[in-house]
Structure 1
């Protein structure tokens, strides 16, 4: 009997009663119905219930639909961690649109490129970012409908760029808007751009299914019980805040917005709001630990769960965070995997190890999220798994439902990324005998500073434009505060004269500030016999700068 003739295949079709596309939009609808009065969002002195969070998201969806936004239309937002950013994560896809969150640290040229590449139809922008967005809109070919957000809790004096203010847009919408789940869970829900390691950034497309699954996996991975309180120290523009805007609705959690990551507001929120979870790069840990004692607050014995990615924190930082009341867990992922898809699952038997050995265990990236189908280290040439000996290098590869749909309008890059049926991360690492992976290098020489990717190629291109510079190479220099910072090695042309301050100032004129080298070393660059710069030597040199 063929599979098609099996009784398990006959008269058992999917229908409206037994199948619905997976989408994180359903989480908010459920929680608003069960816990309507529960605090969903805290922002400054304002508090928004789940009833109002859901209603305002539906208003946004309704207003967007009335202004022509429909399936696969891109809605871009230039927002910090404020309530409209959370509302956009639901309201935009409720209207069928694709949410494109702009990195608030980027320069106008890159922002303009993204707006054009994404075919932006609608833009919501915070007045704080008016100067750079005004320039970006002037450079862009697209002419989206622009709405300004004027934060009532933290008023800004930036120019109004658009035709209306955000609250006026919300007022246009229907709080009972009859939104629909996507017709297909494979439909796009959001668009996130990589940092562009080789030329212009690539647009990474997420689907509803992946967002649904990673949002739930976050809840499991971070051990969120009912009604957690999450502090937004991680930018929501970064991989959709690692999908936590959707995760909190699963467990009726409270979002505590943080417009600026500053010491006193962090500690005040930790104490006053009873924060249970937060995420961030090493810079957030440094911010917390370096707070003056007068501004620190008593957590009354509570342990706050802190999740960090990027470079593993040094042993001294882990110890200091533990003493301050935080349990640090190391995560790893990429924009292409919806943010973190790997976790350093801590085992109880490791608690008895010496602190130095515990730090070595915590420095490993770990094992796959529950929502990821497979994770391994492979020889990219043979597509065979490397021995699990903790020594043999290979490329870290992913497979599963929380891997992107692909790169927008870039079939070649998509095909290359998925060659052999695996997502090629571009990160080099080893596989330990217990199945945990550990990164050892980055094949594209990406520098991760403060949780943001910096292309060494992009910085080098700027340096080469200086008339006095003959050759340049940029590598990561370990930094306790930022994780890593760019360190530039520069060879001058014969007879040329230049100092480090002049190089840094030149870079500031052409790069976003976080990409500018913090250190400049004038030296003859080490090269192979064929003239290739030996970056591994420079990395060692950078450690002693």
Structure 2
């Protein structure tokens, strides 16, 4: 990587406490009696290996702040070690939960390693939640300590749990830096050999809470082993390498950053953190910082591809898309800017992504539109995951695979290495989700003859019109092809004759707003006329409403439950 970012990094001087001693050894203390042929899987080993092999390579860059920081693998590894000892000094025991409330910055990046090094459980909390929601998660998780960024310190006010605040400066008087310095002093230079390797690879690793759009958020508990295997899979599927520069657009609190905090280090890649999703900053790094990879939900990708700063890039960038199904139109628009799409699918319950739409050699001869439609499928399971199944269920434990005809709807179920252990403190919900020995996603899909899977809808979002099943996602895919549509969401609305009919909520492209201002009825007619080309009668929208924005969760998913409440009042 040769960029202004690297040149700036070379002039940065880390704190004395962040410098590793001479002759440092990157080796944890092994459990007694461990067989020579077995080492428990743990993602922590990735950073030890990176510091050993590439100690002077830029590992973590945090440039767009008043006090920029740049850490090599050797320096960052020492800081992680300092954090582990600080947590132990504070009384954190194996299995304790440590909460983190932070945007993408060194604090949360450190925590994904340092908490594991203390054999505790990484518990990232969504800083976009309300104070009562955050209070609930801290209480429910039983967190023993909270690491919080200064911008969101108010979310940790009034709690009984001890709090360490980071000013995000890296300066000696920063409370977080003092905390790390205390850890270094407490270690008495015992180094990594003074920290124990967890003997149980099935020990708890992360506790990530779901968005909670329909009630209290659930705590998804994962294991060290699963985190290790999911991280390797993501590094492989995204093609991360020593030469990669990964830009943190996806929040690290979201399903532990889809395991990319560990994936990027496994691949010896450089990571760049930005505190907020600001499209001018994103494009600046695309153009000037050598960025090769980033992840983001479709709603974020829409903002990126339509940003005024956007242009056709000289170098290709790999965009990993998940969170909800991208439209083929969005995939095509990204490709036009030399942003190549890796479409993955997953849930918080599966460590983030666990499937990928693998491109085929014959696709090279296809048109962009046809290729984008194929890329919109959810594809096949990762190498470290079991085969994806689409099944019928009689409500019990018996699961029958749907025919691979690309038409018959069933539910996606999954099991295997990169599936959660449980919903924390929720045994009944865990049993219900894992009935029949598989995790039931609630996503309805079809299976194609080539083994690929395409999600048709969430079970609760399916529109039943005159006895026909209409997929809201399929309708959205088609309407998104209309040139003046920026974003669209479709839900069911009661109909006196057909039972239900689709209603579309549409955000217009910025360039089309003036054209249709005060002419919403005409726009509705035009969109309905367009829909006649690609949708059967029962799937065409009966109503169209132009809106300025759509209700979304803090991770960018459209809240159809909110739209349903709006429609119920019509």
Query: TM-score if structure 2 supplies the norm length?
Result: 0.73
In structure 2, what is the Cα distance between the partners aligned to 1:513 and 1:403?
21
The answer for the alignment partner of 2:123 in structure 1 is: 100
Partner of 1:192: 208
Q: Which residue of 1 aligns with 2:452?
A: 436
Deviation per CA, 1:370-396: give whole Å up to 9, x if none: 110221101122411111111111110
RMSD after superposition: 3.3
Q: Hey, what's the Cα distance between the residues in 2 that align with 1:150 and 1:26?
A: 29
Distance 1:316 1:148 in 2: 43
What residue number does 1:353 align with?
366
Residue number in structure 2 paired with 1:173: 183
The Cα of 1:223 is off from its aligned counterpart by 1.6
- Secondary structure of 1:224 counterpart: coil
Structure 2: how far apart are the matches of 1:443 and 1:84? Answer: 38
Between Structure 1 and Structure 2, how many residues are aligned?
451
Q: Which residue pairs with 2:321 in the alignment?
A: 308
Greater shift, 437-446 or 331-340, is seen at 437-446
Instruction: Write the distance in 1 (CA, Å) between the matches of 2:564 and 2:403.
Output: 38
Q: In structure 2, how many angstroms separate the alpha carbons of the residues matched to 1:280 and 1:305?
A: 11
CA distance in 1, matches of 2:197, 2:170: 33
Distance 1:384 1:296 in 2: 47
Are the structure 2 counterparts of residues 114 and 408 from structure 1 closer, same or farther at C-alpha, using a change threshold of 3 Å?
same
> Is contact 2:312-2:338 (8 Å) kept?
no
**Could you give the per-residue CA deviations for residues 1-28 of structure 1, whole angstroms, max 9, x where no partner exists?**
xxxxxxxxxxxxx944221100000000
TM-score, normalising length from structure 1? 0.76
Say whether the 8 Å CA contact 2:358–2:380 is kept in structure 1.
Answer: yes
**Contact 1:303 1:326 (8 Å CA) reproduced:** yes
Q: Deviations over 1:208-251 (max 9, x none)?
A: 00000011001111122323110000110011100000011111
Aligned ranges 1:402-481 → 2 under 5 Å:
402-445=418-461, 477=505
Q: 1:524 to 1:69 in 2, by over 3 A?
A: closer
Structure-1 residue corresponding to 2:519: none
Alignment of 1:285-324 (within 5 A): 285-292=301-308, 295-296=309-310, 299=313, 301-324=314-337
Structure 2 matches for 1:231-242, cutoff 5 A? 231-242=247-258
* 2:329–2:369 Cα contact (<8 Å) kept: no
Distance 2:231 2:119 in 1: 19
1:229 equivalent to 2:245? Answer: yes
Say which is worse superposed, 85-94 or 358-367, in terms of deviation. Answer: 358-367
> Alpha carbons of 1:375 and 1:24: their partners in 2 closer, same or farther (altered >3 Å)?
same
Gaps of 5+ in 2: 1-32, 463-471, 477-489, 491-500, 510-544
8 A Cα contact 2:210 2:348, kept in partner: yes
* Residue pair 2:245, 2:293 contacting (<8 A) in 1 also: yes
For 1:139-538, what aligned pairs fall within 5 Å after superposition? 143-152=160-169, 165-174=175-184, 176-177=191-192, 178-292=194-308, 295-296=309-310, 299=313, 301-381=314-394, 382-445=398-461, 477=505
Q: 1:332, 1:341 within 8 Å by CA — same for their partners in 2?
A: yes
In structure 2, relative to structure 1, the CA distance for the partners of 1:312 and 1:239 (3 Å cut) is same
2:59 is aligned with 1:43: no
